[in-house]
Structure 1
Amino acid sequence: MEEAKKGLENIIALETSISSIDGVKGVLKYRGILVNDLLDMPYDAVSYLLIRGKLPDKNELAAYSALLKERRPAGENVLNVLRTCNFNIEAMDALRTAISYMSHCDPDLSDNSEEANLRKAANLVAKFPTIIAAFSRIAIGKEPVPPNPALSHGANFLYMLRGSKPTELEAEIMEKDFILSAEHELNASSFASRITASTLSDLYSAIITGICTLKGPLHGGARMAVMDMIDEIAVPEDSEAYVLEKMANNEKIMGFGHRVYLTQDPRTGIFKKLAKELAESRGNMKWYETGENIENAIFKVFTEKTHKPIYPNVDFYSGIVYKYLDIPPRLATAVFAIGRISGWIAHCMEQYSDNRVIRPRAKYVKAGQPPENEPLLSPKKKIVV
């Protein structure tokens, strides 16, 4: 049997037409289109692209957006489920519970036909923001704000979260965040969702798998950790000392490094620019300057010690963007999921369309077994029968 690859690093598990990454050049494409070229589109168009496989024309986009707006209300039963949650939990836990309940109410729960899954897909994409905003308000003793059909996907989420309309810049940046978060090839949560789908389990179950996987601090949960880290640094000038202390104590600094990219993640520079725009609009550069100082300190230390630079990943500046958007840290991973749901659905739909159950092999290693190719017994040792 071949040598095992820990974490399946660089193992090609399947073929996909959903997205591609060039880790050497730092390029990310959705359905063959550079992610940078999608940022001036509404999230609805990118969601359609990922799930349906092509960019919508004007009429298709209008119909899809109207469908999503129609499906936004979560319903009183789902809101009542959220009211029973432990309010000290992350929003991801409440989202998982709400989606599980939603599945109970779907008469086509176990129908994996394309038609049924496209209907479920619209329901999930539309309701994710409503559920997360509602949980956040219920947890602080406020009533949920009903969706506003006049607002875009990003603007409506901020409106439901706050109870007031966001600025044009805030709405635009929230929309861009959802687009940048929407898809990233075989990341852990997308692969986990595909594994569930490959068993021909239902779409809700596959999406719940994605939610559970994204929650981990080594995946989407890193955004919340970045937000908490920024708050630990009193002033931007303390950033380098903070970094040096963390490294001296062998503590991980969240938001840096990536398994796939050997250069900067193409999304990082975009999020950095968005963070700066928000900082300037607020007249408060503190969090942005703190982040930039952390980035510079880590780059300097790693380059000096290892002669290899290390770059911030997508979670770093997106966490700072969330701070400027007044998104509570415990919502950070769930907000990531609002964007990523379209990518998860696309992967599940692709898996269903040409399925083979995903079942890799493991290399058995007995505890205390000597290295491979080394004899179990010394040639000089006699075997007593």
Structure 2
Amino acid sequence: MSKNISFIDGLEGILKYREIDINQLVELPYDAVSYLLIMGELPGDQELADYSARLRGEREINREAIDVIRMCNFNIDSMEALRTIVSFISQFDPDINDNSPEGNMRKAIRLIAKIPTIVAAYHRIANGKEPVPPDPSLSHGANFLYMIRGSKPSDLEAEVMEKDFILSAEHELNASTFSSRVTASTLSDLYSAVVSGLCTLKGPLHGGARAEVMAMIDEISSPEDAEKYVLEKLAKKEKIMGFGHRVYKTYDPRGVVFKQLSRQLAEAKGNMYWYEIAEATERTVIRELVEKKGKPIYPNVDFYSGVIYKYLDIPPKLATSIFAIGRVSGWIAHCFDQYEKKKIIRPRAFMLDEC
């Protein structure tokens, strides 16, 4: 059942994929966590090797997709390009109309493998550079950074990117996952279901919040200004981006890991600037809202992940599409679960009053 794909305890700050705590999963490669979500159990050594080999063998995108990317409007957010190219490449998939478990698995492999290549190619072309072909010797995270930069990342940067994908991979029936399941429930193809997820993730109240955190950090400009910034926002009853969650009433467990990773990157690069801005912002928000008013407003998944993207030189336009790179495995796990049910999702209109 779908509830077994992931589990959240919002009061205790617990997140599990397939009954395994997220703090254990971030020590694994992304490929192993992707396998876990889709197949329902962790792979053995040979299973992981085979799964990784299949993913690495499907990373390249065809010339036609590159040509379509070149025709994109490069002033847009990368999510517009990503949803267009994912839809476009579906017509070249020989299994597009094969909804058997085997056909869907082949499509799943291609989607997980190609989405990072699409995002990286769009970024390169938008900046007047040629796309960098994927390197099959690199991990999922290291290869993505390599395709963006044209040079291999440090071991720490590669590790952080892998963990980012893992922490973004799954989170129960959030808006984008639900939209993917609705599409799959009609027995539409897997590409259509993933495009539904991409369109939903794009919204600033969902995946788009990460880019807004990055903009906020730039707006604050210094650690010394963070307190003043937060107090002015609160006085105007405006939202502080990256804080609060519909489910968690304590610190988001993903946020805890992201904070640790952002500090590691800051120290490794000898530049604490963005981390100190974020920490000062967090300290003020918790003092004003948690300690003084008793409101459970803590950093969520977007806050320190935005800091990490600053240290990895990832532009805000890519932030949401990178979220999608990790999340696609979770969407696919839910779609497979929905395909097994063979039952259309059809809520009644009166349920909208509860949203």
TM-score after normalising by structure 2: 0.97
1:242 aligns with 2:229: yes
Q: Is the 8 A contact 2:249 2:296 kept in 1?
A: no
- Does the CA contact (< 8 Å) of 2:59 and 2:113 recur in 1? yes
Unaligned 5+ segments in structure 1 are: 1-13, 366-385
Q: Quote the residue 2:162 is aligned against.
A: 175
Distance 1:39 1:107 in 2: 34
Q: CA–CA distance in 2 between the matches of 1:32 and 1:191?
A: 20
Residues 125-164 of structure 1 mapped to structure 2, 5 A cutoff: 125-164=112-151
Partners of 2:201 and 2:320 within 8 A in 1: yes
The C-alpha deviation readout for 1:10-67, integer Å capped at 9, x for no partner, is: xxxx843211111111100000100111112110111111111111111111111111
CA drift at 1:287: 0.4
Percent identical: 65
- Residue aligned with 2:3, SS: coil
The letter of the residue matching 2:259 is: K
Q: Report the secondary structure of 2:15's partner residue.
A: strand
1:222 maps to what in 2? 209
Take 1:119 and 1:303, find their aligned partners in 2: how far apart are those partners?
Answer: 47
Corresponding position: 1:191 with 2:174: no
Instruction: State the alpha-carbon separation in 1 of the partners of residues 160 and 290 from structure 2.
Output: 32
* Alignment: residue pair count: 352
Runs of 5+ consecutive residues of structure 2 not aligned to the other structure: none
SS state of the match for residue 4, structure 2? Answer: coil
Deviates more, 1:300-309 or 1:101-110: 300-309
Contact 2:18-2:37 at 8 Å conserved across structures: yes
Cα deviation code 1:323-351 (max 9, x no counterpart): 10111110000011110000000000000
1:288 is matched with which residue? Answer: 275
Over the residues paired in the alignment, what is the CA RMSD in angstroms? 1.3
CA–CA distance in structure 2, aligned partners of residues 75 and 36 of structure 1: 37
Secondary structure of the 1:16 match is helix
CA apart distance, 1:112: 1.4
1:6-17 aligned within 5 A: 15-17=2-4
Amino acid at match of 2:228: A
TM-aligned CA distance change 1:198 to 1:277, over 3 Å: same
| Structure having the higher Rg | 1
Q: 1:121 to 1:364 in 2, by over 3 A?
A: closer
Give, as a single letter, the amino acid of the residue that structure 2 aligns with 1:141: G
Distance of aligned partners of 1:299 and 1:80 in 2 relative to their CA distance in 1, 3 Å threshold: same
Structure 2: how far apart are the matches of 1:107 and 1:122? Answer: 13
TM-score (norm 1): 0.89
Corresponding residue to 1:323 among 310, 316, 327: 310
In the alignment, structure 1 residue 356 sits paired with structure 2 residue 343: yes
Kindly tell me: are residues 28 and 364 of structure 1, through their superposed partners in 2, closer, same or farther at Cα, counting changes over 3 Å? closer
Point out the structure with the larger helix share.
2
8 Å contact from structure 2 (residues 2, 334) kept in 1: no
Please state if 1:267 is matched with 2:254.
Answer: yes
Q: Which amino acid aligns with 1:44?
A: D
Letter in 2 for 1:224: A
* Aligned ranges 1:1-385 → 2 under 5 Å: 15-303=2-290, 306-363=293-350
Q: Which runs of 4+ in 1 moved over 6 A?
A: none
Post-superposition offset of 1:304 = 5.4
**Aligned partner of 1:41: which letter?**
L
| Deviation of 1:230 (Å) | 0.4
Amino acid at match of 2:176: S
